[in-house]
Amino acid sequence: MFGRLPLSVSTNMSNKNEIPILIGALLVTLGIVGGGGWFLFNRMNPATVGPGLSTTGSMPRELQANVSTGEKVLVPTMDNETKLFASKAIAGGKNQEALQQLTQYLEKSPNDPEAWIYLNNLRALDHNPLQIAVVAPVGSSLNIAQEILRGAAQAQEEINQKGGIDGRFLHITIVNDANDGTLAQQFAGELVKQNQILGVVGHNASSATLSAAPTYEAGGLVLVNATSDANGITNVGNHIFRVIPQINTSAQTLVQQVGKEVDQVAVCYDSKAPDGVSFYQEFTTGLLASGGQLAPTVCDLSEANFNSQTKMAEIVASGAQGLLILPHIDRLDRAFALGDANRGRLKLYGNSPLSTIKTLEQGQSMVDLMVAIPWSSKRGANRPFAEAARKFWGGDVSWRTAATYDAVYVVANALAVAPSREGLQKVLTEPEFVSSTINGEVRFLPNGDRAGQATLVQIKPSPSHVTGYDFFPINR
C-alpha cells in the first residue's frame, strides 16, 4: 500500500505505484557565496549539507556560477535590482528580508518564474523540503528557459500552497546548462553527488539530454525530461523518463497531414541535432510507407557553407511542393532564412523547436508554417491548465511550460508515495503509475516515454498577440 497524495492531484495505482517577452542580455552571474546557502538549510538541520549545489565547495567554479537556489540571479529581467538585493540577502542568510523583497518584486513583476522559485524555496526551508533540480538553457536560449521555468514555478507554487507533499514543501535548484552537452554531463555528475537532490527535471535540447542521461542512469538519479524528443533517450535505462509523446507519434501525425496537402516533400534538417535527425528518420519512413514522395535533394542546415537562397532554388527546381524544416533549437536562423527565401512558394512544415516566439517574430515569411508539438493552449482538452496558467502568468503559455509542469508533478506525485531516490524510481517504473493534474494524466509506456498524441498547429495572423501572429491548432 502507498500513502495518500495530499495535493490537488492524484496518483492512481493498484500495487504502488510566449507570454510577455523578457528583455535583457544575460547577466554576469555573481561569485559564489559559500556560507549563505549553507546557512539557509543549516538553520533546520545542522547535521546536513545545505540545499542545492551552491554549497558544493569541490564543484568547479564555472559550474557554481550557473546553479542557484536563490543566492544568485541567473535570469535577467527589466527590474533586476530588486531581485539582486533579494539574492544577496539569501546569500547572507537574511531570509525574512529576502522574502519581503521577493514578495514586493513579484507584485510588480508577477511573470518572473525564477523569482517565484526562489520565493517558494525560502518558504520551503521551514517545511522539511523535498529537493529537486530543474535544468534550463538560460545561457543559450533565454526565452526557452523562461518557458521551462514557468512550468516548474507554477507547479511548485501550487504544491506548496496546498501544504506540500505530506507537509514537506518542494524546493527547486535551478541549473543553467546552456544546452551544452559537455556542461550537461558535468552537471549530471554533480547532481548525482548531491544526495539531497531526489530527482531532476530537464534537460532541454536532445543533444544535452543524450549527453547527460547515462550519468544519471549510472548514478541512480531519476531524470524526467519534458522537452527532448530524440530517439534513444529513454532507452538509456530505467531512471530516464519523458513526459512528451514519442517522436514517431509526432512525425506520423505530420505525415498524415502532409499527405493531404502535397505530393512531394523536401526535407532540410540539422545533422547535429539528434531530435531533428530522429524526426527526419521517422517522417521519411512514414511518408514513403504511405505512398508519399521525397524530393531528391540533400539539405543539411549544419553545413558550414549553407546558402538558403541557393538551397531553396534547388528545392523548388526538384518539383517539391512542401518543405519540412528540422533545425536545432539554438540554431533557428537558417530555418528563418529558408522561410525568407521561400517567398510563399512551398508549404512549410516543422518540428517542435520551431514552436517559439522567435518564429512568430518572423511574421509573413513563416505564416502558414505547420508544426507538430506535444500540447497547445488552444486545444479544448487543455483549457483547465491553459486558463490557470494564463491567470498566473498573464498570457498564453507554450507546450514547454505545460510539459515541465507535468514533469514536476510527476516527480512530486511519486515522491508522495516514496520520498527517496530509490523510491521515486520504483514508483515511476510501476505499470499502474498515473500522475493526474488539471492538465490531464501522465502514463508511462514500458520504455519510460509518455503515452499520448501530438498536436498540429499553424502560424496565422493574430492581432491579439504581441508579434501579430500565433500558433493555432489544425482541425483534422
pTM: 0.88
Q: Is pLDDT at 54 greater than 60 in this prediction?
A: no
> Any idea which residue has 544577496 for its cell?
88
**Would you state the pLDDT for residue 58?**
59
Q: How far apart are CA 309 and CA 315, in angstroms?
A: 10
Retrieve residue 439's grid coordinates: 492538465
pLDDT above 50 (res 37)? no
* Measured distance CA(236)–CA(373) in Å, rounded: 23
Per-residue confidence band for 250, with pLDDT thresholds at 50, 70 and 90: very high
* Kind and range of the H or E run holding 35: helix 34-42
Calculate what percentage of the chain has a pLDDT beyond 90.
82
Phi and psi at residue 123, in whole multiples of 5°?
-60, -30
Is residue 449's pLDDT more than 50?
yes
Instruction: Compute the average pLDDT of residues 451-463.
Output: 94
Q: What is the pLDDT of residue 337?
A: 97
Q: Is the pLDDT of residue 18 over 90?
A: no
**pLDDT tens figures, 356-384:** 999 999 988 999 999 999 999 998 888 99
Task: Judge whether 232 and 214 are in contact, CB under 8 Å.
Answer: no
How, if at all, do strands 264-269 and 440-442 pair?
unpaired
Q: Dump pLDDT digits (tens) for 413-438.
A: 999 999 999 999 999 999 999 999 99
Which amino acid is present at 444? F
Residue 476 has a pLDDT of 52
Residue 129: is its pLDDT beyond 80?
yes
CA distances from 343 to 309, 323, 368, 437 (A): 11, 12, 12, 43
pLDDT of residue 79: 74
Mean pLDDT of 106-122: 96
Confidence of residue 62 (pLDDT cuts 50, 70, 90): confident
CA distance 9 to 88: 35
pLDDT confidence of residue 380: 85
Does position 315 have pLDDT exceeding 60, yes or no?
Answer: yes
In 3D space, the residue among 472, 397, 389, 379 whose CA is nearest the CA of residue 438 turns out to be 389
| pLDDT band, residue 60 (cuts 50/70/90) | confident
Of 28 and 392, the structure prediction assigns the larger pLDDT to: 392
Cell 538509456, residue located: 236
What are φ and ψ of residue 464, in 5° steps? Answer: -80, -15
Q: Which three three-digit cell numbers place residue 192?
A: 548525482
Q: Which domains does the chain have, with CATH numbers?
A: 10-245+383-442 (3.40.50.2300), 247-373+455-473 (3.40.50.2300)
Give DSSP secondary structure letters for 210-232.
HHHHHHHHHHT-EEEESS---TT
C-beta separation of 101 from 89 below 8 A: yes
Closest to 449 measured CA to CA, from 275, 251, 241: 241
Calpha distance 265→254 (Å, rounded): 12
How far is it between the farthest Cα atoms of the chain? Answer: 71
- Residue found under cell 547535429: 272
| Integer-rounded Cα radius of gyration of the chain | 22
Q: What is the mean predicted confidence (pLDDT) over 54-70?
A: 77
pLDDT, averaged across the chain: 88
Q: Backbone dihedral region of 304: left (phi > 0), alpha (psi from -120 to 50 degrees) or beta?
A: alpha
Picking from 173, 169, 227, 229, the residue whose alpha carbon sits closest to that of residue 197 is 173
Helix (H) or strand (E) holding 63: helix 61-64
Rounded CA-CA distance 424/413 in Å is 9
Give the lowest-confidence range in 27-36, 159-168, 327-336, 419-428.
27-36
pLDDT given for residue 239 in this prediction: 98
